[in-house]
Amino acid sequence: MAAKLPDPVSELAFNGDKDPFLIALGERTRALRARRGLTRKGLARAADVSERHLANVEMGVGNASIQFLRLVAQALNCTLAELVGDETASSPEWLMIREILRGRTDPELAQARGALAVMFGAPASKAARRQRVALIGLRGAGKSTLGRMLADAWAVPFVELNRQIEAAAGCSLAEIHSLYGPQAYRRYEKRALEDTIQRFPRAVVATPGGIVSEPANFNLLLAHCYTVWVRATPEEHMSRVLAQGDTRPMNGNAEAMADLRRILDSRAAFYSKADESYDTSEKSTEEAFAGLRDQLRAAIPTVG
């Protein structure tokens, strides 16, 4: 009679090679099950999953599928984020705050964010914030060109945040991404923004297009700068970048325009958090500058 082969999952449970994430997942599953007063058998039955597989997950050795976790989360009446360990499910206060915000409209959430920013973020006063204008938006909208022109007209410093990021890192943006990765870039971005806020009480700041992708950095920008979303059509974004001699958006990418549209669509809801928006489409540089300066004169009369 052939010897029975060991169960690889069971072997893994006793050889000390458990994955820390799987261990934590198992602990959360047991804790949530206990909070609901369910036995393992009861949870397996409610979720319609294998009790043996559930046992392995709770032991920290079961590599569960997304579908398995979704079924378990439904049976436990919790979110998938709570089960896998999202920060907003890490304590009773987080869960209660999240429940208060659940189902709120965007304007209501914006009001709540503003109240939290005042409570915890130490934002600049309204008057101080309006002395530091930040232009946000995709590459090719005209942030740098219009930012320099505004700064000259208002006799205030112009800050290109990308250059400040390179100075903080001691290398180019491309080298930051290739050598250290996106997380390091966001850290340098935050450091550069904090330094700019501290050094320049009055300025025009041109920001990187992706600053809205990091909520902490975008919150910092909104709290200390009067922000303007400088917009253009996707076609104009692309043509302006190409006109500057940068062919990278098109190199080896037949879907460049579709990619650009997806990026714009994914960021539009964040860009729209700006205090104002200004469309530069079908405008010459001079026309765009005059229109933007006139639009801002009403909001920022002291520098307009």
| Within a domain: 159 | yes
Q: What is the pLDDT of residue 302?
A: 57
Confidence of residue 235 (pLDDT cuts 50, 70, 90): confident
pLDDT tens string 85-130? 876 766 778 888 888 998 999 889 989 988 887 787 666 788 888 9
- In this structure, of 233-237, 257-261, 270-274, the range with the lowest mean pLDDT score is 257-261
Same domain, 142 and 81: no
Query: What's the CA gap between 214 and 1, in Å, rounded?
Result: 61
Give this prediction's pTM.
Answer: 0.72
Question: Which range marks the domain in which residue 58 is found?
Answer: 13-85
- Reference 300, options 90, 198, 153, 191; nearest CA is 153
CATH code of 37's domain: 1.10.260.40
| Within a domain: 3 | no
| Within a domain: 2 | no
| Helix (H/G/I), strand (E/B), else coil: 34 | helix
Residues of the chain above pLDDT 90, percent: 41
Same domain, 194 and 255: yes
| Within a domain: 136 | yes
Per DSSP, helices labelled H in the chain are: 8-14, 20-36, 40-47, 51-59, 66-76, 80-84, 92-101, 106-116, 126-129, 143-154, 161-169, 173-175, 182-199, 215-224, 234-243, 256-271, 285-299
Check: CB of residue 79 under 8 Å from CB of residue 89: yes
Number of domains in the chain: 2
Same domain, 205 and 258: yes
Mean pLDDT, all residues of the chain = 84
pLDDT tens string 6-62? 343 443 444 456 788 889 899 889 888 887 778 888 899 989 999 999 999 999 887
Out of 50, 70, 85, a domain closes at 85
